[in-house]
Structure 1
């Protein structure tokens, strides 16, 4: 029986669907995919949990940072799948040699797919994130109306949006110098274990460092450093001032939401001080301006917000630290 051809793509395109140049470092990392039929068993690299691919299958590099894997699937069927990044030896960027990093994705959301490679998410085919036996996985649902021999394009970003860095600190090294230190960033979730780290940040991504003199902003980007780095030295500062630093992890996907200035950061306090639901109601919580006591309570995680974004727009997670630069020589 003729199959539907599914073209799984790991890509680095911008949000206007225009190909971007991928980092050479990310291109040195081998990519694999595992696929399992249905959603009763979450896919993994073991052969008995990846019956379609019989374990991991290596994806093919096709240029511009894009990797592809093509196989025949059946109309009217559902599949769940996952990607892996294999560091090998010597490991590129900030990855550890021979380690496998896996696709840390959210448990809900839409994945772009197409029957022609240009328009997205036609009614007869859908791809999305879901919880499969309590494991976050990617899911492809092929409608029974698909014609054998058709091709489905499924566009994926490894690990989706990375999380925030860990252990972000600032220390004065002189009257006009501040050193920033941080630990490696993880994927959409997880805070321990090498395999949970955001491989496409450590190898091919980067960190954007923003500075401000007020806890609510504005914050101006002062530099971009490679994803393999964990320190930055800020110089030519003014002693006696307090500085606020935000660090954002950006993966090799290279979207278009980067900017040199964010007007403000927001915390997670709500203007709804007391609320009790009496039934099934739609609730909208408005987020207040950042408050440092609340920021510290929530491990210094805040969100960047653009000035013209409505409240429901997606915010960019960052970690923030503040430091007072005292007068006098530092020992």
Structure 2
């Protein structure tokens, strides 16, 4: 299949590309940044436009139609609301299957308060969460404050240990966009799930973080968490990959974040036998979905991609490159 991936300058987009590189699928990279690494690691690439511009969707339509793209994976959170709202339109115009969930699922995943309300409403364990302006000493300290919407890589997250510090925090202008959440010290898990009109499966990993990103990952088998993920995801009803962050508190899994997309650890999961982009492609081609998860440690590291100045100038001039031979992960 011909597969387009957006946001290939970031970790999610690049991880999708790396998961599909060893397969027979042909990839098209799209990103608004001229120097987005993934643009120079695929056979065909386009410098597109950012999601908040009026050129974003028309340009995607043009690329999908021109390249006869069969599947489109978004690689940036900022694109999800636009693609979710335009999914039917884009699919009808181009015949491209857009791997994105419904607007309601995207909204829940992007909003910490909506995540809490979804879990509470459906009887799932949830870490108590309040808007900062509505908070009135409901929780014991320490508490966590974090952006209500659009948070990534733990940016803006703070642990506050006493009421006085919280009162000072509430005075800053940005506080109105934050939530106060119950603090949990339990072991943290990052979980990849796949739902394609039914629950396909999940991979469970513990991790070590560096600057908010997964730096080392450890694949584990846990039947209790696996069953719980299936139960929650069947109610949430996403379409495609959905990343789930949770902590175990007194042996009970508490989800504190959904990401309604592929993850930055998609390529790592593929190495462990759970290749979400490949399974989506298999499903769309009517093939049986088979996976075999292997317990292992995954140690991530930087890798270099050399790009000629001529390639960059050509991309700058034409917003397009083709017949490239580079691959992410080194030449």
**Fold in common (TM above 0.5):** no
Considering fraction of residues, name the structure with more helix: 2
Higher strand share: 1
Larger radius of gyration: 1
TM-score range, shorter chain: under 0.3
